[in-house]
Amino acid sequence: MANGSDRSESLYFLPEMLFELWENHRTGSLQINQNGGEKTFCLVKGELSAINKYFPEKEFFDWLIETGKIQPPLRLNHNLLGAEKASSVLAILIEQGFIQPDEAFKVMADFLETKLSDFFVLPDWPATFTEENFTTEDIVFSGLPAPVIILKGLKKVSRIEAYRRWLPSDQALLFRLVPAYVSRLGLSQTEIYVWNLLQTPRTFSWLLENSWLGPAETRKTVLILTCLRLLDFNRQESGYSEVSQPEGLDLEKSLALFNEKANLIQRYITKQLGPVAFNLLEKSYREIQDSLDPVFLNLEIKPDGSFEPRAMLRISLNNLEPRQKKTLLRGFDEILAAEMLLVKKTLGNQHEENLIKLLSRSGEIT
């Protein structure tokens, strides 16, 4: 039964909420407010399911006609449907020969998937999830995984600018994740292409500049990969965050955050390799220093993995021009990307994944 204390409201993007419900194997009803009304979708262990008492039969029948999946004669109208002694609209359609039994459940699944993914096209739908147990008799069918619905639904998005708050800022560092379920998602070549470009952590601006898909399609693909937890980045530096704007940025705080990340990476590598870790980190920094802005000649790496600006740079840190601030932030990200590449090359993919999770738990990638 539903329990009012087990309600949770979405404070973020609906596809992200749906993914989290799937990841946590939640069972219950998802209510989405639509222009004063409410649409209900049911989940069984996180998978979209048809539950007999919640299934919108009239809407389903209308949808079948609108989409041309059935073309019933005029006599099969809503009055007849109401008069027929049958357990469901589906039973009548099968009985009358308008749909084959073998395809009936697939058509129902297509209907639920389409109706839920329609809400992805606009970002701001308030949604509430209520825990509820369903008996076996309640369940008409189950088994539509949320990641597949998210993948298909977000492909319909055409106005990607409406989703700016869920996208990384240009200078945010993107981390590729490789969860066990990735092989079951059925990613298209588009998603695989962008995902593979990020085998080494890169900034969003780098990705937009180097992707052959063009900026709009690359942004949409990043949105999809993020909702599927195949990419991660610092949400505090998202497109709507005021601190992501170079003009108003406190570089002292940015340097402190950068050093927290660098120190955590150093401690992780040292735990695996011992004292040689610092030499490897210093070498990775020196190897990319020539490609960085000359301002980084005034930034020295310390034994704890953090970076110390020389006196001249520290004095002028918050008096830099916006362009120089942006250059400094980009350099911070490139240094971290080089260190993560070092982890991958030296310790392997699994350690890279472990380190990303540690950064996430410490609040540095949220």
Separation CA 225–CA 174 (nearest Å):
11
Separation CA 352–CA 177 (nearest Å):
9
Question: Phi then psi for 77, rounded to 5 degrees?
Answer: -105, -175
Contact indicator for 341, 288 with CB cutoff of 8 Å: no
Start-to-end C-alpha separation, the chain: 34
Q: What is the pLDDT along the chain (366 residues), one digit of tens a residue?
A: 344 334 444 445 788 889 889 988 899 999 887 655 688 999 999 999 999 888 888 888 888 888 887 776 544 555 445 545 456 777 777 777 777 877 888 888 899 998 888 888 766 667 888 899 999 988 988 888 888 899 888 888 877 877 887 888 888 888 888 887 888 888 999 999 999 998 888 889 999 999 999 999 999 999 999 989 898 887 655 543 433 344 445 667 777 888 888 888 889 999 898 889 889 998 888 888 777 777 777 788 888 888 887 765 665 665 666 666 777 777 787 788 788 888 888 888 788 777 876 765 554 443
Instruction: Find residue 28's DSSP bridge partners.
Output: 43, 131
Which amino acid, one-letter code, is at 215? P
**Residue 221 confidence (pLDDT):** 94
b/e map of 230-253 (b: 16 or more CB within 10 Å)?
A: bbbbbbebbbeeeebebeebebee
Which residues, other chains included, contact 95 with Cβ-Cβ below 8 Å and sequence gap of 6+? 86
Pairing of strands 47-51, 139-145: antiparallel
Within 10 A of 322 (CB to CB), how many other CB atoms are there? 12
The C-alpha torsion from 271 through 273 and 276 to 279, rounded to 10°, is -80
Separation CA 61–CA 41 (nearest Å):
17
Within 10 A of 222 (CB to CB), how many other CB atoms are there? 27
Q: Which residue has the tokens 């292409």?
A: 193
**Residue 248 confidence (pLDDT):** 47
Q: Which residue has the tokens 């982890």?
A: 343
Angle between helices 215-227 and 14-23 (to 10 degrees): 30
Separation CA 332–CA 237 (nearest Å):
14
* Three-state secondary structure of the chain: CCCHHHEEECCCCHHHHHHHHHHCCCCEEEEEEECCEEEEEEEECCEEEEECCCCCHHHHHHHHHHCCCCCCCCCCCHHHHHHCCCCCHHHHHHHCCCCCHHHHHHHHHHHHHHHHHHHHCCCCCCEEEEECCCCCCCEEEEEEEHHHHHHHHHCCCCCHHHHHHHCECCCCEEEECCCHHHHHCCCCHHHHHHHHHCCCCEEHHHHHHHCCCCHHHHHHHHHHHHHCCCEECCHHHECCCHHHCHHHCCHHHHHHHHHHHHHHHHHHHHHHHCCHHHHHHHHHHHHHHCCCCHHHHHEEECCCCCEEECHHHHHHHHHCCHHHHHHHHHHHHHHHHHHHHHHHHHHCHHHHHHHHHHHHHCCCCC
Which residues, other chains included, contact 274 with Cβ-Cβ below 8 Å and sequence gap of 6+? none
User: What sign results for the dihedral spanned by CA atoms 11, 14, 20, 24?
Assistant: positive
**Residue 49 confidence (pLDDT):** 93
Separation CA 102–CA 110 (nearest Å):
14
**Residue 316 confidence (pLDDT):** 60
pTM score: 0.62
